[in-house]
Amino acid sequence: MLVVEVKAGQALVWGAEAAQTLRERLGVGGRLVGSLARGPRQNARLGLPLLLLPEEARLLAEIGAATLVTAPRPDPGQQAQAVAAYHQEQESGFREQRALACEARRRRLQDLAQHIAAGRAQKQRGPREAEQGEEGARPRVAWARPLDWHHPSPDWPHAGNPAHELRYRVYKDLWERGYFLTSGGKFGGDFLVYPGDPLRFHAHFVAQCCAPGDALPLSDLVSAGRLGTNVRKTLLLCSPQPDGSVAYTSLQWAGLP
Protein backbone atom coordinates (compact mmCIF):
# COMPACT_ATOMS: atom_id res chain seq x y z
CA MET A 1 0.00 0.00 0.00
CA LEU A 2 1.48 3.29 -1.01
CA VAL A 3 1.70 5.97 1.58
CA VAL A 4 1.80 9.64 0.69
CA GLU A 5 2.85 11.98 3.48
CA VAL A 6 1.12 15.31 3.51
CA LYS A 7 2.33 18.38 5.30
CA ALA A 8 1.19 21.98 4.88
CA GLY A 9 -0.42 21.19 1.56
CA GLN A 10 2.65 19.46 0.12
CA ALA A 11 2.39 15.76 -0.67
CA LEU A 12 5.64 13.81 -0.54
CA VAL A 13 6.44 10.27 -1.53
CA TRP A 14 9.47 8.57 -0.06
CA GLY A 15 10.78 5.31 -1.36
CA ALA A 16 12.09 4.53 -4.78
CA GLU A 17 9.76 1.58 -5.28
CA ALA A 18 6.75 3.72 -4.54
CA ALA A 19 7.90 6.32 -7.03
CA GLN A 20 8.46 3.60 -9.60
CA THR A 21 5.01 2.14 -9.11
CA LEU A 22 3.40 5.50 -9.42
CA ARG A 23 5.15 6.36 -12.59
CA GLU A 24 5.11 3.07 -14.42
CA ARG A 25 1.80 1.65 -13.42
CA LEU A 26 -0.30 4.68 -12.67
CA GLY A 27 1.05 7.37 -14.90
CA VAL A 28 1.56 9.83 -12.09
CA GLY A 29 4.93 11.46 -12.28
CA GLY A 30 5.46 14.08 -9.65
CA ARG A 31 8.69 15.92 -9.31
CA LEU A 32 11.86 15.06 -7.42
CA VAL A 33 12.88 17.78 -5.01
CA GLY A 34 15.55 16.36 -2.76
CA SER A 35 19.27 15.86 -3.12
CA LEU A 36 20.45 12.84 -5.02
CA ALA A 37 22.44 10.41 -2.92
CA ARG A 38 25.17 9.95 -5.48
CA GLY A 39 25.68 13.64 -6.16
CA PRO A 40 24.13 15.88 -3.55
CA ARG A 41 25.83 19.07 -4.64
CA GLN A 42 24.39 19.52 -8.07
CA ASN A 43 21.08 20.71 -9.37
CA ALA A 44 20.79 18.84 -12.63
CA ARG A 45 19.46 15.65 -11.15
CA LEU A 46 17.55 15.68 -7.94
CA GLY A 47 16.52 12.78 -5.75
CA LEU A 48 13.86 11.73 -3.31
CA PRO A 49 11.40 12.88 -1.98
CA LEU A 50 8.94 13.00 -4.81
CA LEU A 51 6.62 15.98 -4.65
CA LEU A 52 3.12 15.41 -5.95
CA LEU A 53 0.63 17.93 -7.20
CA PRO A 54 -2.36 18.25 -4.91
CA GLU A 55 -4.45 16.95 -7.77
CA GLU A 56 -2.24 13.91 -8.14
CA ALA A 57 -2.43 13.16 -4.44
CA ARG A 58 -6.17 13.46 -4.42
CA LEU A 59 -6.53 11.27 -7.47
CA LEU A 60 -4.44 8.56 -5.87
CA ALA A 61 -6.56 8.73 -2.75
CA GLU A 62 -9.75 8.58 -4.75
CA ILE A 63 -8.86 5.55 -6.75
CA GLY A 64 -7.52 3.91 -3.65
CA ALA A 65 -4.00 3.48 -4.88
CA ALA A 66 -2.43 5.36 -2.00
CA THR A 67 -3.25 6.54 1.48
CA LEU A 68 -2.74 10.12 2.47
CA VAL A 69 -1.26 10.38 5.92
CA THR A 70 -0.04 13.16 8.06
CA ALA A 71 2.42 13.57 10.92
CA PRO A 72 4.25 10.27 11.00
CA ARG A 73 5.71 9.67 14.42
CA PRO A 74 7.98 6.89 15.59
CA ASP A 75 6.49 4.63 18.17
CA PRO A 76 7.47 6.12 21.52
CA GLY A 77 7.01 2.88 23.43
CA GLN A 78 9.77 1.24 21.51
CA GLN A 79 12.32 3.92 22.21
CA ALA A 80 14.64 2.07 24.59
CA GLN A 81 14.35 -1.06 22.55
CA ALA A 82 15.21 0.83 19.43
CA VAL A 83 18.29 2.41 20.98
CA ALA A 84 19.55 -0.93 22.22
CA ALA A 85 18.89 -2.52 18.87
CA TYR A 86 20.68 0.32 17.14
CA HIS A 87 23.84 -0.05 19.15
CA GLN A 88 23.83 -3.79 18.78
CA GLU A 89 23.33 -3.46 15.06
CA GLN A 90 26.23 -1.04 14.85
CA GLU A 91 28.56 -3.41 16.66
CA SER A 92 27.63 -6.50 14.72
CA GLY A 93 27.69 -4.68 11.46
CA PHE A 94 31.08 -3.23 12.26
CA ARG A 95 32.47 -6.63 13.10
CA GLU A 96 31.13 -8.13 9.97
CA GLN A 97 32.51 -5.33 7.84
CA ARG A 98 35.86 -5.75 9.44
CA ALA A 99 35.81 -9.41 8.62
CA LEU A 100 34.89 -8.60 5.06
CA ALA A 101 37.64 -6.03 4.87
CA CYS A 102 40.22 -8.49 6.13
CA GLU A 103 39.02 -11.05 3.67
CA ALA A 104 39.22 -8.61 0.81
CA ARG A 105 42.66 -7.56 1.85
CA ARG A 106 43.84 -11.11 2.06
CA ARG A 107 42.64 -11.77 -1.41
CA ARG A 108 44.31 -8.69 -2.71
CA LEU A 109 47.57 -9.58 -1.05
CA GLN A 110 47.43 -12.93 -2.72
CA ASP A 111 47.04 -11.31 -6.07
CA LEU A 112 49.95 -9.04 -5.59
CA ALA A 113 52.21 -11.60 -3.93
CA GLN A 114 55.25 -11.12 -6.04
CA HIS A 115 55.24 -7.37 -5.81
CA ILE A 116 55.01 -7.60 -2.09
CA ALA A 117 57.89 -10.03 -1.83
CA ALA A 118 60.07 -7.68 -3.77
CA GLY A 119 59.44 -4.78 -1.49
CA ARG A 120 59.29 -6.70 1.74
CA ALA A 121 62.94 -6.31 2.54
CA GLN A 122 62.71 -2.57 2.60
CA LYS A 123 59.49 -1.94 4.39
CA GLN A 124 58.28 -3.27 7.61
CA ARG A 125 54.60 -3.90 7.60
CA GLY A 126 52.79 -3.81 10.84
CA PRO A 127 49.28 -5.01 11.32
CA ARG A 128 47.04 -2.44 9.78
CA GLU A 129 44.39 -0.78 11.85
CA ALA A 130 40.98 -2.13 11.33
CA GLU A 131 39.19 0.30 9.15
CA GLN A 132 36.20 2.19 10.24
CA GLY A 133 33.01 0.61 9.19
CA GLU A 134 30.49 2.28 7.04
CA GLU A 135 27.32 3.59 8.41
CA GLY A 136 23.86 2.46 7.50
CA ALA A 137 20.61 4.15 8.28
CA ARG A 138 18.44 2.43 10.76
CA PRO A 139 14.75 2.84 10.09
CA ARG A 140 12.24 2.79 12.87
CA VAL A 141 8.65 1.90 12.76
CA ALA A 142 6.55 5.00 12.36
CA TRP A 143 2.82 5.39 12.64
CA ALA A 144 0.89 8.16 10.97
CA ARG A 145 -2.64 9.45 11.00
CA PRO A 146 -4.62 9.05 7.83
CA LEU A 147 -5.70 12.28 6.31
CA ASP A 148 -9.26 13.11 5.52
CA TRP A 149 -8.90 14.93 2.28
CA HIS A 150 -12.55 15.75 1.97
CA HIS A 151 -12.29 18.45 4.59
CA PRO A 152 -9.84 21.30 4.81
CA SER A 153 -7.23 21.15 7.53
CA PRO A 154 -3.91 22.89 8.15
CA ASP A 155 -2.12 20.07 6.40
CA TRP A 156 -4.52 19.91 3.50
CA PRO A 157 -5.90 23.35 2.72
CA HIS A 158 -7.01 22.44 -0.78
CA ALA A 159 -10.27 20.73 0.09
CA GLY A 160 -13.20 22.92 -0.79
CA ASN A 161 -11.03 25.40 -2.64
CA PRO A 162 -12.89 26.13 -5.90
CA ALA A 163 -9.67 26.61 -7.85
CA HIS A 164 -8.45 23.24 -6.69
CA GLU A 165 -11.74 21.57 -7.58
CA LEU A 166 -11.58 23.03 -11.03
CA ARG A 167 -8.07 21.86 -11.66
CA TYR A 168 -8.77 18.47 -10.18
CA ARG A 169 -11.63 17.75 -12.51
CA VAL A 170 -9.55 18.65 -15.52
CA TYR A 171 -6.66 16.60 -14.21
CA LYS A 172 -8.78 13.56 -13.62
CA ASP A 173 -10.38 13.72 -17.00
CA LEU A 174 -7.11 14.02 -18.84
CA TRP A 175 -5.55 11.29 -16.75
CA GLU A 176 -8.36 8.93 -17.55
CA ARG A 177 -7.73 9.53 -21.21
CA GLY A 178 -4.22 8.26 -20.73
CA TYR A 179 -2.23 11.48 -20.75
CA PHE A 180 0.66 12.22 -18.47
CA LEU A 181 0.36 15.53 -16.66
CA THR A 182 2.89 17.68 -14.90
CA SER A 183 2.89 21.16 -13.47
CA GLY A 184 2.76 23.84 -16.12
CA GLY A 185 3.71 26.96 -14.21
CA LYS A 186 6.84 27.36 -16.32
CA PHE A 187 4.74 27.74 -19.44
CA GLY A 188 2.06 29.95 -18.05
CA GLY A 189 -0.56 27.26 -17.78
CA ASP A 190 -1.92 24.87 -15.21
CA PHE A 191 -0.68 21.58 -16.63
CA LEU A 192 1.59 20.27 -19.31
CA VAL A 193 0.00 17.39 -21.17
CA TYR A 194 2.30 14.64 -22.43
CA PRO A 195 1.25 11.73 -24.61
CA GLY A 196 3.55 9.41 -22.67
CA ASP A 197 6.29 9.55 -20.11
CA PRO A 198 7.93 12.98 -19.96
CA LEU A 199 11.30 11.26 -19.95
CA ARG A 200 10.97 10.47 -23.61
CA PHE A 201 8.23 12.60 -25.10
CA HIS A 202 7.59 16.27 -25.63
CA ALA A 203 4.45 17.87 -24.29
CA HIS A 204 1.64 18.41 -26.70
CA PHE A 205 -0.53 20.84 -24.82
CA VAL A 206 -0.38 23.53 -22.26
CA ALA A 207 -3.64 23.16 -20.37
CA GLN A 208 -5.27 26.14 -18.79
CA CYS A 209 -8.32 25.66 -16.62
CA CYS A 210 -11.17 28.11 -16.75
CA ALA A 211 -14.43 27.97 -14.86
CA PRO A 212 -17.46 27.72 -17.16
CA GLY A 213 -18.98 31.06 -16.29
CA ASP A 214 -15.79 33.06 -16.10
CA ALA A 215 -15.09 35.87 -18.46
CA LEU A 216 -11.91 35.41 -20.44
CA PRO A 217 -10.24 38.69 -21.31
CA LEU A 218 -8.88 38.79 -24.79
CA SER A 219 -5.49 39.96 -23.61
CA ASP A 220 -5.15 36.83 -21.49
CA LEU A 221 -6.07 34.73 -24.45
CA VAL A 222 -3.56 36.42 -26.63
CA SER A 223 -0.74 36.13 -24.12
CA ALA A 224 -1.48 32.48 -23.44
CA GLY A 225 -1.66 31.74 -27.10
CA ARG A 226 1.60 33.48 -27.78
CA LEU A 227 3.31 31.58 -25.01
CA GLY A 228 2.11 28.29 -26.30
CA THR A 229 3.18 29.04 -29.82
CA ASN A 230 6.63 30.11 -28.76
CA VAL A 231 7.31 26.77 -27.16
CA ARG A 232 5.59 24.84 -29.93
CA LYS A 233 2.72 23.57 -27.88
CA THR A 234 -0.97 23.94 -28.37
CA LEU A 235 -2.93 25.87 -25.83
CA LEU A 236 -5.76 23.86 -24.38
CA LEU A 237 -8.55 25.68 -22.64
CA CYS A 238 -10.36 23.31 -20.33
CA SER A 239 -13.54 23.96 -18.52
CA PRO A 240 -15.50 21.36 -16.59
CA GLN A 241 -19.18 21.31 -17.39
CA PRO A 242 -21.92 20.90 -14.81
CA ASP A 243 -22.84 17.52 -16.19
CA GLY A 244 -19.49 16.06 -15.36
CA SER A 245 -17.70 16.20 -18.66
CA VAL A 246 -14.96 18.59 -19.53
CA ALA A 247 -15.03 20.78 -22.58
CA TYR A 248 -11.74 21.39 -24.38
CA THR A 249 -10.85 24.11 -26.79
CA SER A 250 -7.49 24.20 -28.42
CA LEU A 251 -5.80 27.28 -29.73
CA GLN A 252 -3.07 27.52 -32.24
CA TRP A 253 -1.57 30.68 -33.57
CA ALA A 254 -1.98 30.69 -37.28
CA GLY A 255 -0.78 33.17 -39.78
CA LEU A 256 -2.76 34.10 -42.85
CA PRO A 257 -1.45 32.07 -45.74
Which of 135, 218, 219, 257 binds other proteins (CB under 8 A)? It is 135
Count residues near other proteins (CB under 8 A). Answer: 84
Residues 7-46 interacting with other proteins (rule: CB under 8 A): 7-8, 10, 12, 14-20, 23-24, 31-45
Phi, psi dihedral angles at 173 (to 5 degrees): -65, -45
Closer Cβ to other proteins, 54 or 240, answer by number: 54
Report the C-alpha gap between 21 and 15 in whole angstroms: 10
- Only one of the segments 73-81, 106-114, 223-231, 246-254 lies at the binding site for other proteins (rule: CB under 8 A); that segment is 73-81
Closer Cβ to other proteins, 17 or 243, answer by number: 17
Report the C-alpha gap between 71 and 113 in whole angstroms: 58
Residues with a catalytic annotation lie at 194, 202, 233
Residues 207-246 interacting with other proteins (rule: CB under 8 A): none
Q: Is 112 in the site for other proteins (CB under 8 A)?
A: no
Which of 105, 115, 185, 250 binds other proteins (CB under 8 A)? It is 185
- Only one of the segments 70-78, 113-121, 222-230, 247-255 lies at the binding site for other proteins (rule: CB under 8 A); that segment is 70-78
Q: Is 136 in the site for other proteins (CB under 8 A)?
A: yes
Helix (H) or strand (E) holding 226: helix 218-230
Q: Is 65 in the site for other proteins (CB under 8 A)?
A: no
DSSP string, 34-97: E--SS-TT-SSS-EEEEEE-HHHHHHHHHHTSEEEEEEEEE-GGGHHHHHHHHHHHHHHHHHHH
- Only one of the segments 107-115, 190-198, 214-222, 243-251 lies at the binding site for other proteins (rule: CB under 8 A); that segment is 190-198
The DSSP call for residue 186 is G
Closer Cβ to other proteins, 118 or 199, answer by number: 199
Report the C-alpha gap between 150 and 142 in whole angstroms: 24
Exposed e or buried b per residue across 193-231, where buried means at least 16 C-beta atoms within 10 angstroms of its C-beta: bbeeebeeeebbbbbbbbeeeeeeeeeeeeebbebbeee
- What is the nearest approach in angstroms of other proteins to the Cβ of residue 109? 17
Which of 63, 130, 142, 247 binds other proteins (CB under 8 A)? It is 142
The DSSP call for residue 232 is T
